[in-house]
Amino acid sequence: MAAPLPQKFDDLPDKRRYWPGRPGSSEEGLGMLRLLTPEIVADAAQTQIQTGERVCLNWDIENLSPPGFGRKPFEHTIKWVAKGVAFDDEYHFNPQQGSQWDGLRHHNAPAPTPEDPERRLFYGGTTAAEIIDSDSPRIGIGFWAKKGIAGRGVLIDYVSYAEKKGIPINALTRQTITLDEVQEIARECNISFQKGDVFFLRVGLPGTWAAMSEAQRKEYSAQETPQHMGIEQSERVLRFMWDNHFAAVASDAVSFEVFPAKDPEFDLHHHLLAGWGVPIGEMFDLEELAATFP
């Protein structure tokens, strides 16, 4: 049986990592998605589904074109599989070009030792060698795929908040959303966070991208270190994330957190992904969601 989850950030013996699962186990592979128990999912379905409206959160994988970080662009080819009778579709793509979950294999964090000050580890202490090994399923996204991600989602709509406040938005800068702003939006919308919630943050990337010319998009793609808007890095944010026990976090931003990190000590990818096993969704399309449930 898994050890009980420390209730408060201050209860964590090591603030940078919490690895309760046995190496290679399903519990380890799920990370914080293990919070989505049948009881929590059932409660979300019984208390939150009221209108029956359904909204797709996928942002077209061809939108962010050309992609940044030197990633291979999306390719779609239609080929005859039986001449004159049937077609096949072939896709070559990097999921990081569009709406995607950062899996636990995506990002590691520093884990120095006196003998190896440059050591880095993925969630659970997984090594790069294990990830590259095609026979090792350890912390693979396949653990998530068996049941999917289902539960209660809560939307912090910073775009609407900024419009009311007269704050201009450019999602491809290091514009920072503070924890104070997140909490103010939650209060205004009467949002009370619950254990197992999926935390959504809307920052307006689709609007920023739509307003850019083709030349500006190419300029963005060519940058060695592009800039991205997102939530601040701080101990306060980490404390907020842990104390609310989110099962996952997601945004329409490229990086969820401001990038490059303004405070690398509290880099959220290091803590959430490699440290605590919290999936990070990026470039979700939250426009229709915000319009449907203002």
Tokens of 44: 């979300």
- pLDDT tens-digit series, residues 169-191: 999 999 999 999 999 999 999 99
Q: Is residue 78 part of a domain?
A: no
Structural tokens at position 159: 């775009």
**Predicted confidence (pLDDT) per residue in 189-220, tens digit:** 999 999 999 999 999 999 999 999 999 998 98
* Cβ atoms 66, 72 nearer than 8 A: no
Distance, in Å, from the CA atom of 109 to the CA atom of 265, rounded to the nearest integer, reads: 11
Query: Mean pLDDT across the chain, nearest whole number?
Result: 94
Asked whether residue 1 carries a pLDDT value surpassing 70, the answer given is no
Residue 88 lies inside a defined structural domain of this protein = no
Kindly tell me if the per-residue pLDDT of 3 is higher than 70. no
* Residue 141 is assigned to a structural domain of this protein: yes
Instruction: Determine, yes or no, domain membership for 221.
Output: yes
Residue 171's Cβ-side half-sphere holds a number of Cα atoms within 13 Å equal to 24
- pLDDT at residue 37, as a whole number: 96
The CATH number of the domain holding residue 248 is 3.50.30
Cα(82)–Cα(74) distance, rounded to whole angstroms? 25
Is the pLDDT at 59 greater than 80, yes or no? yes
d(CA 49, CA 293): 12
pLDDT at 96 over 80: no
Q: Is 161 helix (H, G, I), strand (E, B) or coil?
A: helix
The pLDDT assigned to 2 comes to: 57
Distance CA 291, CA 239 (A): 30
Band of residue 168 on the pLDDT scale cut at 50, 70, 90:
very high
Residue 205 in any domain: the answer is yes
pLDDT exceeds cutoff 70 at 116: yes
The helix (run of H) or strand (run of E) holding residue 215 is: helix 214-222
The share of the chain scoring above pLDDT 90, in percent, equals: 83
Has residue 8 been placed in a domain?
A: no
What does the alpha-carbon distance between residue 185 and residue 176 come to, in Å, rounded to a whole number? 15
**pLDDT (mean) for 263-288:** 97
Burial (0-12, 13-18, 19+ Cβ within 10 Å), 253: buried
Q: Is residue 75 part of a domain?
A: no
What pTM value is reported for the model? 0.91
User: Using CA of residue 210, residue 214, residue 218, residue 219, what is the dihedral sign?
Assistant: negative
Residue-level pLDDT at 280 = 98
Residue 69 lies in a domain: no
Structural domain of 25: 17-59+99-292
pLDDT at residue 73 greater than cutoff 90? no
Q: What is the number of structural domains in the chain? A: 1
% of the chain at pLDDT higher than 70: 99
Quick check: 238 and 9 in contact, CB under 8 A? yes
193 beta partners? none
Q: Is the pLDDT of residue 67 over 80?
A: no
Mean pLDDT of 226-239: 97
